[in-house]
Every structure is written in structure tokens, then in C-alpha cells.
Amino acid sequence: MKPEELEVKAAAELAKQQAFDVRLFTCSSRGCQSSEALGVIAGLKAELKARQLESRVQVNGSGCMGLCSKGPLVRMTSKTQKDILFSEIKPEMAAMVVEQVVVPVLEGKTIEKPGGDLEHHTLDLNDPFFAMQVYSVLENNGKIDPEKLDDYIARDGYKALRKALTMSAEDICKEMLASGLRGRGGAGFPTGLKWDLTRKVQSDVKYIICNGDEGDPGAFMDGSVLEGDPHAVIEGMLIAARAMNATQGVFYIRAEYPLAVERVEKALRQARVAGLAGKNVMDSGWAFDFEIRLGAGAFVCGEETALIASIEGKRGTPRPRPPFPAVKGLWDQPSCINNVETLANVPIILLKGAPWFASRGTEKSKGTKLFALTGKSKNNGLVEVPMGMTLRDVIEKIGGGTDSGLKIKAIQTGGPSGGMIPEHQFDTPVSYENLQQLGSMMGSGGMIVIDEHDSVVELAQFYLDFCVDESCGKCAPCRIGGTQMLHLLNKIVAGTGTAEDIKTIRKVAKAMQKASLCALGQTAPNPTLSALRHFEHEFTERLLPVATPKA
Amino acid sequence: MSNTVHATINGLPVAVTKGTSILDAARQVHVRIPTLCKHPDLDATGACGICIVQIKNNGKMLRACCTAVEDKMEILTETPEIVDVRRSVLELILSRHPNECLTCLRNQNCELQTLAADFGLTWTGLDSIVPEHAIDDSTHSIVLDSRKCITCGRCIQVCQQDQNVWALSFLNRGFETRIAAAGDIPLWDSPCVRCGQCSAHCPTGAIVEYDESVKVWEKLEDPDAYCVVQIAPAVRVAVGEAFGFPVGANLTGKIYAALRRMGFKAVFDTNFGADLTIIEEATEFKSRLLEGKGVLPLITSCCPGWVNFMEKFHSDMIPHFSSCKSPHAMVGALTKTYYAQKQGIDPAKIFMVSIMPCTAKKSEIIRSKEMYSSGYQDVDVSITTREFARMIKQSGIDFVTIPNEPCDHILGMYTGAGTIFGATGGVMEAALRTAYFYVTGGDAPKLDFTATRGLKGVKEASIDVAGTTVRIAVAHGLANVEQVIDKIRAAKEAGEEPPYHFVEVMACPGGCVGGGGQPYGATNELRIKRAEGLYSEDFADQLRCSHHNPYIKQLYDEFLGAPASHKAEQLLHTGYQVLPEYKR
């Protein structure tokens, strides 16, 4: 594809879309697929065919539209009226949607809010859940079919790559640095700096690796982005490759995300056929291609050096750094590993400019962040908020509090590496620094709401159990420390713990934090320690009575 | 850009080459950072977390073993906080370690035990959580007890990288991580070649030699048994380490004396067998080189670890292998025939013990029917230097002060050529001395073929033997063998002249002085010193060529006839077989 063909393709696709009076987007991500979303799509198509409305109504799949707990979601857009978002649509309701809403709209009627049986299957788009979110990475979700390249191109897709092809590697790095984008995998290292470090290493072979090994319990941001907008990630990788003169792209995606793998595979095929990847990228003479490697389900393989070992076919265990992957990475060549969400941010930054991106967020944390809101939250799902929004707004307004009406006690962010943040700290604005200061971390973006009936001791036990199970076993502090800590926590949960056990937990935790080889072991004690810091009474209440000091 | 970085360690200025680890830099200013998983010869893996240090004004702790010193680093190695964390880590490691020090072969010789003693650990606040794993002694050479393993990975590194055997690997993950043969099969079914380097590098008692000293004591106690013993070249320069002698001290005379006091009726020396090997092998070499009988290069066969490796991984090299048995196997066969006849002893009553630097010898003695050439098992038990050192201690012999004694004849006296068998290149050097004699009829003007000496992985040279150029290669450490074999194969495939005429291979780094059954703590520095102990004896010897050994001459005159005679073939030579890498 020649650079100037982008506009032609986009215009053609837009014209095609304009020809439809109504377009329906049904979430076809894995969550909604498990709730029969594909049946809904088939049902809509069948009904429209029966009514001979196929030429007027387009039926599409779509990426995640956020409110996963109410899926499958179906979005209706029309030239004549506001969008309607249906929730919890079952295949057998497809005919009803067509009959009660689509047909009337086609007949020129305006439907503010569907009535009858569909009344309780319609979401209010003015609800804070939608209104307070700021879509950037998720901008395309619900608006394109992730399996169609032309849909992506019609929404400015690959324009950022075209721009990158006219820029020097150094300038792309500068732009990224100026935007303030930081790694969305959790550590928050400045992306531009990471690219620039890799750029400066001289080598004939360099790798850009997309880390799609999202493994935190309760986190599904990266999987959703890969499923919902695969071309954005591919484009981000192509730009990253230009910025550091990388010669090969590698997707590392966990095998438990088969749909993400399928979508990325399909998108890569499309990109190659269209000349956007492969032997001659956008007719520039630059050859760049990708391969996909599947992770076998080990949490630790999200750690850069373990991820590299896994791609190389070795045991997924971390190795000491330095040398950093930028110097010696995959197959001993310079490599840059970026998280899915980070890469998905790249095209829009290049297209709209660093100042646009940097205008959102706090002083040191820019842009938007995806969170997977789960637990006792009323609204469960994928949300995108600007950095700097308070936790309270995220939890109480976007999340809508708890479904049961019970008081929220705390949230857990950063997954098994993060910590619990108690309710009295909810007015803290979201940023890498603030969350760390609260003893938690941004992590990849899991946010789990805990209500007053939940036991933080058992939650800490759950997370530690996860880390113990996922420890690679290479270093002693993590391998044995985690097991010992869990053993003590189990005692406390069983009611046989003593005050001495709590002291020992703290002691072992410190050894793990200070002496573990990688972040898994260093951070594994965090949930327990933060629970102890904020809710020690919940621990002491469960101790053996004799061990409790009398006042 | 300068290649030197300047930093401080505990306030002491230090200047080191870029890339130097904090651990190595600290030694320069006389700071000893405690370590556990790090072995001086192996890559740092950062597994244990004991060597943590801090950078001033930074709460993070770094591993000294695998963190390079950076310019202007202010390194702290001994703050109270560091010591406290190290102690906690050690407590964790001990909580996952069986409390069996008193009944462990590594008692008082264990890196973990020493560290625990240094830290004076008395706290027992953690419950012991030692998983039950079965002991694997299937090889009868080494014993793997993964309950005692601290998963430092040294054994795996030597097995995979240095030896290229890949018998050992980590199984499972997290707390369940343990070492075993891949696929969790018994080591006997695995590619293991029994070299025992895993045991020599293990910091604890997780991998040890298969101890057979009790069998030896039983026979020494048995009035019907006629116990005969022989010691390998490399044993004499290493056993002293267990008694506080300087590394490399040659204690041959003390060893003979101790063995005689233990009750052995005849004390022989494998060095004699080495001399005999040279005669047979040089004869074989001459006939291949000059008479075109058999293929070139000729490859040495005296190392059983190497023989196992070849049979499993490179069996296409079988035609190249010397058919000579290893020296101790020759002595075993002759003891139960020649010696028994001369002494009028029933060979059925002879119990032949070999004291070897080697774990592979333990299974070599039953490897094929040729190991029973005397009509009996030629060597009944092979024990390692480590087992022997313990036996001396058990026997109540004051090894430090015991006066030297001579060996017994007729299978004891040896030349310097036999002695240097214990170091890499030694077999080659000894063989060249005799080959020169066979080709020219006279001794080489200079007997030291120094091109074969030293610790370079592969040593290649062209030696002029009275106008004939002999191309040789010497390799030690099995990973180094690969490139030699690749060259031989490539030449064969291309139909070219072979790259070498004669190749010596020893499985263990440094040769037998660095053997898998030698005292612990072998490093290259130590291997060199042990080899020095052998070379200096050779240099001082009156007789430095195997063909000048009068007892060898007597042996051929009285018993064998001539080198490569039918009788020699029957007693001193063997065959090879193709072995699968995995038994199932």
C-alpha cells in the first residue's frame, strides 16, 4: 500500500458505512462470547435477512464496550438518532431488538428509550459509568469490528505509522518522551526513554516484543485491547520498531487468550496483504514482520527476562539485570519489551502530538489508564480514566459503589503485587507515584473492590497463595519465603495463629522484598503487608485467644 | 571511554575493569561478601540472595555476585540491615533443609553448614517444611537427594553447559522446584555419563558420591578375602586437602603406608597401569599411523565418563577409540591373573579395590563383559578420593605424621609418564614419549611436550616425530569435546585428511585432578596446583617413559608376550557399544 492510498481506503470504507441506515455492534470479546454473543450476532443477522433489511442494517462484532457484567452489549448507531446501548441480550432476544427498535428507527421514528421487555435491557449512556470515562485506547471499541482492517483505517488507522515513516528514529523517541507516556505494565518506566536506550545500542538485529502475558487475577485490560483493537497494537509496534530500528516484532501472548491470539493472527495477515507489514511496509522499502509466541500460563513470564527465556524455549525464570534486555535480550540481541496497553497508546500520541497526550493526567503520570473494575463493584468491567481522577470517582461514580449497598472497605490495586487501599484514602488522585505512596502500585490495572463483609486476611491469603503458586522457584527468598508466609497466614485464617506469627510474617516479608531476584518475589508480600498496615485488627481478632495480649 | 570504573566499598576506594562484579571488586579491598549459590568457576545466577549489598542512599538491595560495579557507586556490604536480611534468608533456606547434618556425607564440609555456623543461627521460629522426595541412587555412581537441594543450579550448569550432557534439569516450579533427570526418570535411564561433576560442584549433600567404603571395610575384616588396592595418579595430589596439607602436595608414600595399615595385602599403583596403557596404546597408534591398521585419529579411552559420553552421543566415533581398557581396569585384570599365579593365590579370593578421583569408575567396573576378563570381576569396588579420605580418618591412622612407605611389586612401580595421566594432556604427553621411541628407536631429546599442558579447553599442536608430523588435540570438559569431534566428522564427510592423528579426551575440567570424586572446592586455581604436584614428580623421576619401566618389561617377558599379543588383547582391551541417550 502506498502512503496516499490510506485516505482512499478510508473514504471508500466510510462511504460503505454511510450506506447503512443503522449499524449494530455486538461485543464479540471473550467475556461476551461466553454469554452467547455470537448467537446474538447470528440472531440479528437471521432476523434482518428474514425481513430483507440486510442492505440497510449492518451487523458487526466489536471490542469490549466496558460494562462486562451486563454483557453481551449491543450498540445501535443510526444517522437519525442517538446511540442506544442494549445490555444482557440473549440470542432469543435478537428478533425483539430488530422488531421493537431497529425497524421503527428505519421507519423514521425516534426512540429515546426502548420500552416493554427491552426497558431493562437498555443502558443510560449518560450514567457516570460512561459519561465520566475518557476514551483514548478504548476509543475504537464499539465503533469498529476488530476483524476488519478497513474499519480501523476508516478511523485514522495507520496514519501514525505513515507519519513515523517520515520521521527519524530519534525524533520518534523524543516525541514519545515528551508525551510522558509510561509503561502500562505496572512499573511505569518512561516509554520514550526505554525506546531511546534500545535505539542507542548498535546491532544488526533488534527485537520489539509486545508483552501480552497479562496474568494478574482479575485483570483483563490487555486481553481486551488485543481482542478489540489489534491493529492499534500492531501499528504501535511498527512505530516502536522505527523508533529503535528494530528488525523483528514478537507478540508474546498467554495461551489462555486464544481469541486475542486469533485476532492478532488475523490482523497480521491483513496487514501483510495490505502492505502494512512484511517485505515493504507502506511502500517505503522497509521490511518488518512479526511472529507470535504463546505463553504457557506462568505469571512470572510477564517479567521481561523470564518472558525472553520463555520465548527462547527455556524455563521461564528471570535472570539478574543488568544486562538489561535493551542491551542483551531475546537471543542475546537488544530487545525492547512493551506492554499491550502502552503500545496501543502509541499511534494516537504520534497522530495527535505529545502535548495533546500530556495535557491529560498529573505532573508525572500522563494520559489515560485502563482499569479492570471487579470485586464487589456494582459496575464490573473495563474502564478508561484520565490519570489524576480520584480513586473515589473511579470506584463510587464510575463503579457505582457496591451492588449490595454494603460499605466499601478498601480496594486492591496492582494485583498480587499491589496492595489494599482503605476507604479513607480514596480521595487520592490516580497516578503511579500516589499509588506507590499508599503502599500499593498501579500494576497493570486490576482494581478489586472489597466491601465491609470481606475479610482482608483471606484476601491477603488468596493473593499470597497465587504468588506462591506462580513463583518460578529460582531464588530462595521467593520460593521459600512465600511458602513460609502462606503457612503462617493459613494458621491465622484457621484460628491457630499467634502474635509471634504476625511478627514472623513481617520478618519473612522483609527478606522477600529485599532479597528476591525479581519483582514477583519482591512484591508478593505487598497485599499482606498493606492489609496488616491498615487492618491489623482483622488479623489479631483471629489469633488464638491465649496469644492475644490482655489490655 | 575509559575501561576502568571507580567506586567505593564500605568507604574504601576501588578501581576495577568495567563489568567486574561487586563480589570480585570487594575482594580487592579485603571485603569478603558471604555467598552460597555462587561457584567461582560458574556463571552467577543470583539464586540464593545471600550476597546482597546496598548502594548508599538507596533502599534496594542488589546481588553482589551478578551486579557489575558502576562508576561512582557507593557500595555498602555490611550494614546491620543487610546482615539482618541475610540472616532471614538463611533461616528460610534452613527451614527447607533437612536437619540431618550428623548423618550427611557433607558434614563439616558443607557450604550451607559453614554459612549457618558463621551466622550463629539459633532461631527456630520457622516451621520445617521439607518436602519428601525419593533418593535417586540408580547410577551407583552418584546419589541425588533433592530434599537437601538449595536449587542453586550449579549441578545443572555443569551438566548442561560444561559437560553438555543435559542429564539434570529443574523440574516443576515454585516451592516444588527440584533437580532431577528431565522427565523425572531415574538418572540411570537418563543421558548421565556418571562424571560426577554435579557432586563436585554441589554446595550441600544434595548430590554426593555413591559411598562404598563400608563394602571395603567388610572385606578388610573378612579373613578369607585377599584385599588388594591401587591408587590413581590424581588421588595422591588431592587427598591431602582433607588433612590440611597444601593443595597439590604429593603424598604417595603416606597413602601406601596408610593402605597397608588398613589391612591391604598388596598396595599397587594405577600409575603402573598407566604405563602399561601407554605401551598398548602407543603400539596401537603406531600401527594405525604407520601401518594403516584402523582409522585416524586414535582417540583415548581411559576416561569412563568420556567413554559413556561417546557411546551415548557420538557412537560414530567407536572405530576411532583406542581399545585399551583404562589403567585401573588393566591392573585389576592382571592382579587376578598374573599376580595371582605368581603368588599362588586363588583369584576368587582376591578383592580388588581402586581408589579413584572419579565417580564414573564405579559403574565402569561392571560396564561390559570385558570387565570380567580374568574370569572374575577384575575390579571389585572403586571408591573416590573423598571416600578414601574418610576411611583414613576412620582407621585411626595419623595421616599427617605417618612415614612414607613404598608400594608393592609387581604391579606398583611406575614412571613419570604414568604419573601425569592425572592431568589433562598427560596421557597424550606420555604416549608421545613412547610413540617417539617406537617410531625412532630412541627417546625424544626433550621429553616435555608442553603444548599438551594447561587448562585451555582444547589444545591443538603439531609435533615432529623424527620427520613425521603428528597432529594432536587434547580436550577436557565434555562440552569442549564437541568442536574436536565436529572437525573430525567434517573432514570425514568432505573426504579430507583427518585434522588430527591422536586425540586425548578427559571428561572432567582439568582432567582427573578435577575429577568428580575429588575433594570439594575445585577451582581452576586448585586444579593447576594439583597438576603441578604431578608434573613435578614426573620431572624429578629417573624414569620418565613408560617403555623404561622394568616391571612392564618383566610383565611382557613373563606373561603377556608382546604388546597387542593375544593375551594382552584378552586382558587389557575392550570393545564399545552404541548406547541410547535415554533408556526408554
**CATH number of the domain enclosing B196:** 3.30.70.20
Cβ–Cβ of A475/B48 closer than 8 Å? yes
A343 touches chain B (CB under 8 A): no
CATH architecture, domain A368-451:
Roll (3.10)
Count of beta carbons in the 10 Å neighbourhood of residue B368 = 14
Please state, in angstroms and rounded to a whole number, the distance separating the CA atoms of residues A534 and A410: 10
CA distance, residue A477 to nearest chain B CA (Å): 6
In whole angstroms, what separates CA B44 from the centre of its chain?
22
* B254 φψ region: left (φ > 0), alpha (ψ -120 to 50), beta (else): alpha
pLDDT for residue A551: 56
Give the B-side interface with A, CB within 8 Å: 44-49, 52, 60-61, 63, 66-68, 85-86, 88-89, 92-93, 95-96, 125-127, 129, 150-151, 153, 170, 172-177
Active-site hit among B110, B302, B407, B545: B302
CATH 3.10.20.600 domain locations along chain A:
368-451
For residues B93-104, give the mean pLDDT. 95
As given in the structure block, the three cell numbers for residue A60 are 458487526
Per-residue pLDDT tens digits for B185-207: 999 999 999 999 999 999 999 99
Residue closest to B37 by CA, chosen among B201, B194, B262: B201
CATH 3.40.30.10 domain locations along chain A:
20-124
Q: Is residue B128 part of a domain?
A: no
Q: Is residue B583 part of a domain?
A: no
Q: Is B383 helix (H, G, I), strand (E, B) or coil?
A: strand
B197 with B300, same domain: the answer is no
CATH architecture, domain A20-124:
3-Layer(aba) Sandwich (3.40)
Looking at A321-325, B352-356, B571-575, which range is the least confident one? A321-325
Q: Is residue B577 part of a domain?
A: no
The amino acid at residue B88 is: S
Q: Is residue B402 part of a domain?
A: yes
CA distances from B97 to A85, A362, B50, B93, B175 (A): 60, 50, 16, 7, 12
The reply to whether B281 belongs to the active site is yes
Cβ–Cβ of A476/B61 closer than 8 Å? no
B75 with B116, same domain: the answer is no
Domain A156-357 listed as CATH 3.30.70.270: no
Residues 205-244 of A with CB under 8 A from B: none
- ∠ Cα B568 B573 B574 (to 5°): 150
The H or E element spanning position B505 is: strand B502-506
pLDDT for residue A550: 57
Residues 125-164 of A with CB under 8 A from B: none
Q: Is residue B320 part of a domain?
A: yes
CATH number at residue B393: 3.40.50.1780
B202 with B246, same domain: the answer is no
B38 with B166, same domain: the answer is no
Q: Is residue B580 part of a domain?
A: no
The amino acid at residue B498 is: P
B262 with B377, same domain: the answer is yes
Contacts 24+ apart (CB under 8 A), B365-368: B365/B329, B365/B332, B367/B304, B367/B307, B368/B574, B368/B575, B368/B577
Strands B226-231 and B350-356: parallel
Count of beta carbons in the 10 Å neighbourhood of residue B535 = 22
Count of beta carbons in the 10 Å neighbourhood of residue A34 = 11
B146 with B294, same domain: the answer is no
Cβ–Cβ of A475/B47 closer than 8 Å? yes
Q: Are A156 and A140 in contact (CB under 8 A)?
A: no
Q: Is residue B582 part of a domain?
A: no
pLDDT for residue B149: 97
Please state, in angstroms and rounded to a whole number, the distance separating the CA atoms of residues B465 and B364: 34
**CATH class label, A456-547:** mainly alpha
Cβ–Cβ of A479/B150 closer than 8 Å? no
Residue at which a domain ends, from B186, B209, B232: B209
pLDDT for residue A548: 52
CA distance, residue B143 to nearest chain A CA (Å): 22
DSSP structure class, residue B35: -
End-to-end Cα separation, chain B, in angstroms: 56
Structural domain of residue B48, as residue ranges?
A: 4-93
pLDDT for residue B433 is more than 80 = yes
Please state, in angstroms and rounded to a whole number, the distance separating the CA atoms of residues B168 and B171: 9
Q: Is A8 helix (H, G, I), strand (E, B) or coil?
A: helix
Cα within 13 Å of Cα(A79), Cβ side? 11
B364 with B261, same domain: the answer is yes
As given in the structure block, the three cell numbers for residue B51 are 550476597
Residues 245-284 of A with CB under 8 A from B: none
Q: Which of B5, B92, B97 to mutate to test the interface with A (most CBs of A within 10 A)?
A: B92
For chain B, the average pLDDT equals 95
The reply to whether B291 belongs to the active site is no
Q: Is B537 helix (H, G, I), strand (E, B) or coil?
A: helix
Q: Which neighbouring-strand residues pair with A401?
A: none
CA distances from A431 to A397, A441, A449 (A): 18, 9, 18
Residue at which a domain ends, from B187, B209, B231: B209
In whole angstroms, what separates CA A324 from the centre of its chain?
25
Q: Is residue B316 part of a domain?
A: yes
As given in the structure block, the three cell numbers for residue A58 are 449492518
Per 3-state DSSP, what percentage of chain B is helix, strand, and coil (rounded to 5)?
45, 15, 40
pLDDT for residue B1: 55
Cβ–Cβ of A476/B52 closer than 8 Å? no
B350 with B481, same domain: the answer is yes
The reply to whether B152 belongs to the active site is no
Residue at which a domain ends, from B143, B176, B209: B209
Tell me the longest C-alpha to C-alpha distance in chain A: 80
Which regions in chain A score pLDDT beneath 50?
547
DSSP structure class, residue B349: G
Q: Using CA of residue A94, residue A96, residue A99, residue A100, what is the dihedral sign?
A: negative
pLDDT for residue B548: 95
Name the residue facing B174 among A473, A484, A487 (closest C-beta).
A473
pLDDT for residue B584: 64
The reply to whether B405 belongs to the active site is no
B396 with B313, same domain: the answer is yes
Give phi and psi for B39, each to the nearest 5.
Answer: -110, 135
In whole angstroms, what separates CA B184 from the centre of its chain?
26
Nearest CA in chain A to B64: A320
pLDDT for residue B372 is more than 60 = yes
CATH number at residue B39: 3.10.20.740
Q: Which neighbouring-strand residues pair with B61?
A: B54
pLDDT for residue A308: 97
B498 with B355, same domain: the answer is yes
In whole angstroms, what separates CA B210 from the centre of its chain?
15
Please state, in angstroms and rounded to a whole number, the distance separating the CA atoms of residues B110 and B484: 36
The reply to whether B370 belongs to the active site is yes
Give phi and psi for B473, each to the nearest 5.
Answer: -140, 140
Q: What is the pTM of this model?
A: 0.92
B568 with B451, same domain: the answer is yes
The reply to whether B558 belongs to the active site is no
Per-residue pLDDT tens digits for A471-520: 999 999 999 999 999 999 999 999 999 999 999 999 999 999 999 999 99
B218 with B280, same domain: the answer is yes
Q: How many separate domains does chain B show?
A: 3
pLDDT for residue B123 is more than 80 = no
Please state, in angstroms and rounded to a whole number, the distance separating the CA atoms of residues B207 and A239: 51
